[in-house]
Amino acid sequence: MWRISMFNLLPKQLTGALLLAGVLSGCTMAPTYVRPEAPVAGSYPAAADGQAQLDAAALGWRQFFPDQRLQALIASALENNRDLRTAALNIEQARAQYDITAADALPNFDGNFSRTRGRTATYQLVPGQNAVNNVYQVGLNMTSFELDFFGRVRSLKDAALASYLATEEARQSAQISLISQVAQAYLTEQSYAEQERLARQTLDSRLDDYKLDKMRFEVGASSELDLRNSETLVQSARVSLTTLVRQRGQATNALVLLVGKPLGDLPAPQSLSDEQIVTDIPAGLPSDLLNRRPDIREAEQQLRSANANIGAARAAFFPTISLTAGIGNASTSLGSLFSAGSRTWSFVPQLTLPIFEGGRNRANLSLSEIRKNLAIASYEKTIQSAFREVADALVARGTLEEQLAAQDAFLKAQEQRVKLTELRYKNGIASSTDRLNAQRDLFSAQQSLIQTRQLRLNNAIDLYRSLGGGLNENTAVAAK
Which residues fall within 8 angstroms of residue 384, CB to CB, at 6 or more apart? 39, 40
Of the candidates 353, 373, 400, which is a domain's last residue?
A: 353
The contacts of residue 391 (CB under 8 Å, 6+ apart) are: 44, 45, 46
**Do 245 and 451 form a contact (C-beta atoms < 8 A)?**
no
Same domain, 163 and 115: no
Cα–Cα distance between 421 and 179 in angstroms, integer? 46
Query: What confidence tens digit (pLDDT) does each residue in 150-181 have?
Result: 888 889 899 999 999 999 999 999 999 999 99
CATH of the domain at 137: 2.20.200.10
Asked if residue 194 and residue 236 are part of one domain, the reply reads yes
- Alpha-carbon span 228 to 234, nearest angstrom: 10
User: Which is it for the CA torsion 269, 272, 276, 280, positive or negative?
Assistant: positive
Same domain (yes/no): 310, 344: no
* Mean pLDDT (whole number) for 81-110: 86
In a domain, 264, yes or no: yes
DSSP state letters, 367-399: HHHHHHHHHHHHHHHHHHHHHHHHHHHHHHHHH
**Domain annotation covers residue 51:** yes
Same structural domain for residues 277 and 335? no
Residue 14 lies in a domain: no
The 10s digit of each residue's pLDDT in 197-216 is: 999 999 999 999 889 888 98
Looking at the fold, whether 249 and 326 belong to one and the same domain comes out as no
CA 401 to centroid of chain Cα atoms: 31
Q: Is the pLDDT of residue 220 over 60?
A: yes
The pLDDT assigned to 284 comes to 65
Contacts of 170 (CB under 8 A, 6+ apart): 87, 90, 294, 295, 298
Within 10 angstroms of residue 89's Cβ, the number of other Cβ atoms is: 12
- Whether residues 340 and 371 share a domain: the answer is no
Asked whether residue 99 is domain-assigned, the answer is yes
The C-alpha angle 393, 394, 400, rounded to 5 degrees, equals 80
Query: Quick one: 166 and 313 in the same domain?
Result: yes
Domain that includes residue 348, residue range? 109-147+319-353
Encode pLDDT of 363-400 as tens digits: 999 999 999 999 999 999 999 999 999 889 888 888 89
Q: How many domains does the chain have?
A: 2
Quick check: is 479 in a domain?
no
Give the 3-state secondary structure of residue 140: strand
pTM of the predicted structure, to 2 decimals? 0.81
**Residues 188/353, Cβ–Cβ less than 8 Å:** no
Mean pLDDT of the chain: 84
The pLDDT, as a whole number, for residue 49 is 47
Residues 116 and 140 placed together within one structural domain of the fold: yes
Domain boundary residue among 353, 377, 411?
353
Query: Which of 10-14, 63-67, 107-111, 355-359 is predicted with the least confidence, judged by mean pLDDT?
Result: 10-14
Q: Do both 290 and 225 map to the same domain?
A: yes
Same domain assignment for residues 66 and 167: yes
Q: Is 477 within a domain?
A: no
* In a shared domain, residues 122 and 270: no
Q: What is the mean pLDDT of residues 429-440?
A: 87
| Last-in-domain residue among 353, 377, 404 | 353
Instruction: Answer left, alpha or beta for residue 28, where phi above 0 means left and psi between -120 and 50 means alpha.
Output: beta
CATH number at residue 373: 1.20.1600.10
User: Are 121 and 164 contained in the same domain?
Assistant: no
